[in-house]
Every structure is written in structure tokens, then in C-alpha cells.
């Protein structure tokens, strides 16, 4: 059993990137190593020793793009967390766990009607849990939503941090789309989240899965991991991309109606493409976040009898299903994860901000 620390070692966001109001010049943010108190654990809470914490696009949004956090800096970012319980609720002590990225209150109307993933009182490490986040040695969290890791085989516990968001958000998106066996699907953007969505759609019984991206190497990887067809959208118009998809449908004798489209890139071109592909009785689910605005004629939804939905996080009760997919080999997991010392956080953030990595970066405590 690990020792209970006197202090939590952490990499804390002291301030995010900002712009000087007078000159418009970018003022760099700061993430610094520090110590914070171990809080007095309340009934039903535990202290988790962090094994790994993934670097998510959301963290980069908080740090670089001015996306506000519920609790203002200084605070520790990080919400993709795996680790071992070392204190608190006795029935959890000693167990390996994944901490859900969003933890619902379980009391409100949304929670009681199956929409707890968007609970307005939800707790999220690195955002709405005070100063505590996953880029730390330890983190205090409620135990009720923990996902126990019972049999991970030879998968390192640190790698399973990715389950807390990148691998579970796609599962919630599939549920949000009301995915049925045999449904034909399109995934736009096969980076950190999209690469799992492609695989999970196939594992859940989707008919055809089409992957769209501007990165040819990623598309080749997806063709080996669940995608039936791939389209490189780089430099192409929406009409040209639609033409390639139409030719694929025709070759395979697929219907043009009822397709379920998942926009994961969070980019303006990706969202514009998704809207242009939405057609008769189709469903578009917005998974990726972007701060821009996109113009669309909503009357097309009436004409197509189509729908557009948003999705957020994942209900904690779905985590075991996703974890099972990984441990049973239904999802290629190891090829899409890399680990680095947590002390590289500043360099890792900068790298991931410049270009979304093909393999999710998980930072491992090295205090």
C-alpha cells in the first residue's frame, strides 16, 4: 500500500495565455510545480495516487484559448486520470481505478432522467473541483463514480487514463446518436477522440464506417482499425468529398438515407463539411469543440427530417463497457497512447497545441 502524503505534488496552471488589451501581444501562461494541501476527506471520498493523466484538447483550450474554468487559476488541470486509491472509503482502498472526467450530482432532474453526463452541478477534475486536477501526485474525488480496473492484463495502469475521456466520449456520442446495428456512419476527424470512435462504432455493430481527415497517415491507420472507407479532405471541396462518398455508397449498394455523422475535429472546415453531408433522415452529432461560428440554413433540417445533436462527456456507468472493449482486444488501444514524465508538461502542452498528436500523451508523475 502506498503511503498517504503530507502534501500533494502538482503542476499548477498559475495563469493561462492571454492577450495584452492595448498591444494585442500574446502574454504566455504559466504552469509551475508546487505543493497543495491534502484536504480532509469527506464521507464517500477517496484519495487517488495518480498513475497517469492524459493531455486533452480541453486542457489546451483552458490554457491557450481562453476557455473559462469554473474555478479560476491557480488550479491544476487534467481530467483523464487513472490511479490507485490510497485513503478514504475503505471498500475502495487498494483498488486500481479510472476517475470519470465528469461526475454527476445524481440528485438533479437531468441525472434522474438519464442525462447526468450534462449535469449542471457535475464535478470535473481540473475545472470544477477547486484546485485539484490530474497533473498531480494525488487527487481527492468522490468514490461513487469510480470505475474499478479489475483485470487489465499487461496494459499499464497509466495508459488507461485515456479511458476517462478520449475512449469514453465516443461511446456516449454513439449512444446520443441512438446507434443501431447496421447503421452507416461517418467520422470527421480521426485524431485523439475520433480514432477511438471509429473503432467503437464498428465494435457496436455499425454497418459501414467512413473516416475523413486531412492526414493521410491517420486515415491509413483507421483503415486497419475499423474504417471501411477513408477520404482525405485536404484541399477538396465539400462537393468533391460528397462525390467520393456517393461513389462508395453506389459500389457497395448502400442507401443514401439515415447516415449518422460524427464531427470530431472541432474545426470550422470539419463542421461545415459535416453540415453539408447531413441529408435525408440523417443525424449529426457534434463531438469536437471549436470557438468559431458556422452558418447553416436550419430549414434544411425540416426538409431532410434530419437532426443535429450535441454530446458531452460520458456517463460513469458506461465506463466498464468501454474498459471491457479495451481489455478484450475489441479496441486497438496500445498503438494510440504514449507516456511521458509529468515534468515535461510545458513542452508536451506546447507540442500538442501546435499539432494534435497521433498518440495520446499521458503524463506520468515523476515528482
Going from N- to C-terminal start, the domains of the chain cover: 7-166+314-364, 169-310
Largest Cα–Cα separation, the chain: 65
Q: What whole-number distance in Å separates Cα of residue 56 and Cα of residue 349?
A: 9
- Does the domain at 7-166+314-364 match CATH 3.90.180.10? Answer given as yes
The CATH number that domain 169-310 falls under is 3.40.50.720
Q: What whole-number distance in Å separates Cα of residue 30 and Cα of residue 125?
A: 19
Q: What whole-number distance in Å separates Cα of residue 28 and Cα of residue 315?
A: 35
Nearest CA among 317, 365, 297 for reference residue 5: 365
**Per-residue model confidence (pLDDT) at position 291:** 82
Q: What whole-number distance in Å separates Cα of residue 271 and Cα of residue 289?
A: 10
Q: What whole-number distance in Å separates Cα of residue 352 and Cα of residue 103?
A: 26
Decide: 185 and 206 in contact? Cβ < 8 Å.
yes
Q: What whole-number distance in Å separates Cα of residue 351 and Cα of residue 134?
A: 19
Tens-digit pLDDT string for the chain (367 aa): 567 888 999 999 999 999 888 888 888 999 999 999 999 999 999 999 999 999 998 999 999 988 899 999 999 999 999 999 999 999 999 999 999 999 999 999 999 999 999 999 999 999 999 999 999 999 999 999 999 999 999 999 999 999 999 999 999 999 999 999 999 999 999 998 999 999 999 999 999 999 999 999 999 999 999 999 999 999 999 999 999 999 999 999 999 999 999 999 999 999 999 999 999 999 999 999 888 899 999 999 999 999 999 999 999 999 999 999 999 999 998 899 999 999 999 999 999 999 888 899 999 999 9
Decide: 289 and 192 in contact? Cβ < 8 Å.
no
Instruction: Give me the sign of the Cα torsion angle 87, 88, 94, 98.
Output: negative
Residues 6+ apart with CB under 8 A from 39: 132, 140
**Per-residue model confidence (pLDDT) at position 122:** 93
**Per-residue model confidence (pLDDT) at position 290:** 84
How many residues in the chain? 367
Q: What whole-number distance in Å separates Cα of residue 135 and Cα of residue 144?
A: 22
Residues 6+ apart with CB under 8 A from 273: 188, 212, 233, 238, 241, 263
Amino acid at each position: 500500500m502506498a503511503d498517504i502524503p503530507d502534501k500533494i505534488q502538482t503542476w499548477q496552471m498559475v495563469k493561462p495565455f492571454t492577450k495584452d488589451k492595448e498591444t494585442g501581444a500574446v502574454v504566455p501562461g504559466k504552469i509551475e510545480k508546487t505543493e497543495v494541501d491534502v484536504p480532509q476527506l469527506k464521507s464517500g471520498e477517496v484519495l487517488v495516487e495518480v498513475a497517469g493523466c492524459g493531455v486533452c484538447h480541453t486542457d489546451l483550450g483552458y490554457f491557450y484559448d481562453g476557455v473559462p474554468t469554473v474555478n479560476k487559476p491557480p488550479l491544476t488541470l487534467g481530467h483523464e486520470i487513472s490511479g490507485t486509491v490510497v485513503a478514504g472509503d475503505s471498500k475502495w482502498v487498494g483498488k486500481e481505478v479510472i476517475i470519470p472526467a465528469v461526475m454527476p450530482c445524481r440528485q438533479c432532474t437531468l441525472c434522474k432522467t438519464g442525462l447526468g453526463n450534462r449535469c449542471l452541478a457535475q464535478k470535473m477534475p481540473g475545472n470544477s473541483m477547486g484546485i485539484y486536477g490530474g497533473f498531480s501526485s494525488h487527487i481527492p474525488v468522490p468514490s461513487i463514480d469510480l470505475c474499478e480496473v479489475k483485470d487489465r492484463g499487461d496494459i499499464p495502469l497509466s495508459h488507461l487514463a485515456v479511458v476517462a475521456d478520449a475512449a469514453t466520449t465516443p461511446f456516449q456520442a454513439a449512444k446520443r446518436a441512438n446507434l443501431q446495428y447496421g447503421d452507416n456512419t461517418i467520422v470527421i476527424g480521426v485524431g485523439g477522440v475520433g480514432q477511438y470512435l471509429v473503432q467503437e462504432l464498428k465494435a457496436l455493430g455499425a454497418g459501414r464506417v467512413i473516416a475523413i481527415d486531412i492526414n493521410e497517415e491517420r486515415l491509413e491507420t483507421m483503415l486497419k482499425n475499423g474504417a471501411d472507407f477513408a477520404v482525405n479532405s485536404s484541399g477538396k471541396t465539400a462537393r468533391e468529398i460528397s462525390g467520393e462518398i456517393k461513389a462508395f455508397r453506389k459500389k457497395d449498394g448502400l442507401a443514401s438515407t439515415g447516415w449518422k455523422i460524427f464531427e470530431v475535429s472541432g474545426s470550422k472546415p470539419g463542421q461545415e463539411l459535416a453540415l453539408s453531408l447531413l441529408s435525408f433522415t440523417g443525424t449529426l452529432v457534434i463531438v469536437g469543440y471549436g470557438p468559431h461560428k458556422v452558418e447553416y440554413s436550419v430549414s434544411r433540417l425540416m426538409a431532410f427530417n434530419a437532426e443535429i445533436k450535441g454530446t458531452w462527456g460520458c456517463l460513469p456507468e458506461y465506463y466498464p463497457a468501454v474498459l471491457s472493449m479495451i481489455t478484450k482486444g475489441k479496441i486497438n488501444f496500445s498503438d494510440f497512447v504514449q507516456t511521458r514524465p509529468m515534468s515535461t508538461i510545458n513542452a508536451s502542452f506546447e507540442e500538442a497545441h501546435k499539432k494534435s498528436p497521433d498518440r495520446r500523451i499521458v503524463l506520468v508523475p515523476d515528482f
